[in-house]
Amino acid sequence: MKKNLLYLLLFIGALFVACDDNDAEYIFDKSINERFEELKTEYNTKLKAPENGWFGYYNPNEEAGEFSLLLKFGDDGKVIMHSDYNAGTANDTITYQIVKKQDITLVFESWSVLHAIYETENNNFGGEYVFNISEVSDDEIKLTSKTDNGYGDDEVTELILKPATKENWNLKPVYNNVARLAGDPSKSVFRNLKSGDSPVAAFSYDAVKRLAKISYMEGSTIKRVSAPLKFTPEGFCLIKAIEIGGESIECFDYDSDKDSFVEKKSGVSIVYDMVPGIPLAPYDFGKRPNARYNTLDKNNKSSLAFRNFLSGYGKLVKSDITIDRIYFYDLGKKDKVPYLYIYTNKGKFWFDINYEIKDDGKLYITLTGDTNVGGLAPLLKPLIDLFANKKGHYIEGTGTLERYTNKTFSLINADDPSLRINFYEWG
């Protein structure tokens, strides 16, 4: 055995002697630095070649929608970067570099819209401003995220760029569509997908994540879909079409005559409505005795219209009065009269109330007449009239507080459904 091992070692040694440096065959005839400089020159030439630069849609993570992105690379290491993010407020000319970091990497150095997207949600949005250059041609550039690991369900972010047209750089129509879909706070909180006069689904929009949230009935079951989207000069498109009642929903154009977005194939339109398109999430109003106007949740579950109503209340009643807190007390107690309790800078006031949830599912509040408001009644009348309105309030369960287990709910004024007031319960 030892003799065989000795012969094997002598054979291997002979091979090493036979293969001297003069006979070695190298894969490359240039050093890695020389090859990198050549690729760097080639890539820079490609980046700067299109007359109108490059256009693509940037998606920071698989659950979000896409942002239009325009890039025009110059000879001075700078790139003009425009997008439809935040109405173009982050548009700028920034610096870039092509560097060698294991892969050949495109680094957008100074702060840009890509950095702004990266910083969203306390840097947890999955944005990127350092990309590996995966493919380069005259017709397409493919960039992949430098930091996405691709483990498990984590998809590696890709940015595909195509030569831009002059029209691509006119982002004003896109900005307008972004603003339209974000919504008009003076209008109803109910936005429905309607076919003719019939609601087929409820619609809401998450402007940060660029998600259309669509809820519809399938038999007796409520289906809820979050659909990432991208904006176009004509309107917007869902990244993946969804089907509702046999109709495919994908791309919407803005119709200025109707002041609404209309789906191209089905004709379904997105409209502000006086009534919810599907049943609202339930909440058992009166089961818990106390509720307070919710100012704890950072995401402001009350509508902007109501928050504007409160912040401008003094001007509305021509006084320096401010409304600080609003409570319901003693709901559902047989031995107690429920009351509405209001904190102001001029004192604390209560109004005894009766309430009833009628067959239409809405809450109706009436005043019993007992109150301690005295001479300040005219100042508090607009607020009290809002609660004791004639058409009642839709009731919507809205989950729990952000940091606590207290349930929250909204009262949506049926007289003016732009007014959604959120409360959290206790007791």
Domain assignments of the chain as residue spans, ordered by start: 32-170, 174-273, 290-426
Q: Indicate whether 24 pLDDT > 90.
A: no
* Type of residue at 278: I
The alpha carbon of 341 is separated from its chain's Cα centroid by a whole number of angstroms, namely: 35
Task: Provide the 10 A C-beta neighbour count for residue 122.
Answer: 6
Is the pLDDT at 182 greater than 80, yes or no?
Answer: yes
For residues 386 and 413, is the Cβ–Cβ distance under 8 A?
yes
pLDDT digits (tens, 9 = 90+) for 64-79: 999 999 999 998 999 9
Confidence of residue 14 (pLDDT cuts 50, 70, 90): very low
Least confident segment among 40-44, 211-215, 233-237, 406-410: 40-44
Q: What percent of the chain has a predicted confidence (pLDDT) above 70?
A: 91
Looking at residue 282, what DSSP letter applies?
P
* Mean pLDDT of the 85-104 span: 92
Task: Indicate whether 329 pLDDT > 70.
Answer: yes
Among 29-38, 130-139, 156-165, the range scoring the smallest mean pLDDT is 29-38
CATH architecture of 174-273: Beta Barrel (2.40)
Instruction: For the chain, give the percent of residues with pLDDT over 90.
Output: 78
DSSP state letters, 133-161: EEEE-SS-EEEEESS----TT-PPPEEEE
- Same fold for the pair 32-170 and 174-273: yes
Q: What is the residue-averaged pLDDT of the chain?
A: 90
Q: What pLDDT score does 124 carry?
A: 81
Q: Which tens digit of pLDDT belongs to each residue from 137-177?
A: 999 999 998 876 544 455 667 899 999 999 999 999 999 99
Mean pLDDT of 294-299: 89
pLDDT the model gives residue 31: 73
pLDDT of 112 above 50: yes
Mean pLDDT of 96-113: 90
Is the pLDDT at 319 greater than 90, yes or no? yes
Distance CA 127, CA 347 (A): 49
| Residue 403 · residue 288 · CB < 8 Å | no
For residue 198, give the H/E element and its range: strand 198-206
CATH number of 32-170: 2.40.128
195, two tokens: 């076919």
Asked whether the predicted pLDDT for residue 378 surpasses 50, the reply is yes
Q: Identify which has the larger pLDDT, 40 or 93.
A: 93
In the predicted model, is pLDDT for residue 240 greater than 70?
A: yes
**What's the pLDDT band for 37 if we cut at 50, 70, 90?**
confident
Binned at pLDDT 50, 70 and 90, residue 412 comes out as: very high
Of residues 378 and 150, more confidently modeled: 378
Q: Name the least confident of 10-24, 120-134, 332-346, 402-416.
A: 10-24
pLDDT for 157 equals 78
Query: Which of residues 30 and 335 earns the better pLDDT score?
Result: 335
pLDDT band at residue 51 under the 50/70/90 scheme: very high
CB crowding 52-77: b at 16 or more within 10 Å, else e: ebbbbbbbbbeebbbbbbbbbbeeee
Place of tokens 């307070």: 292
pLDDT value at position 100?
A: 85
Q: How confident is the model at residue 88 (pLDDT cuts 50, 70, 90)?
A: very high
pLDDT at residue 154, as a whole number: 54
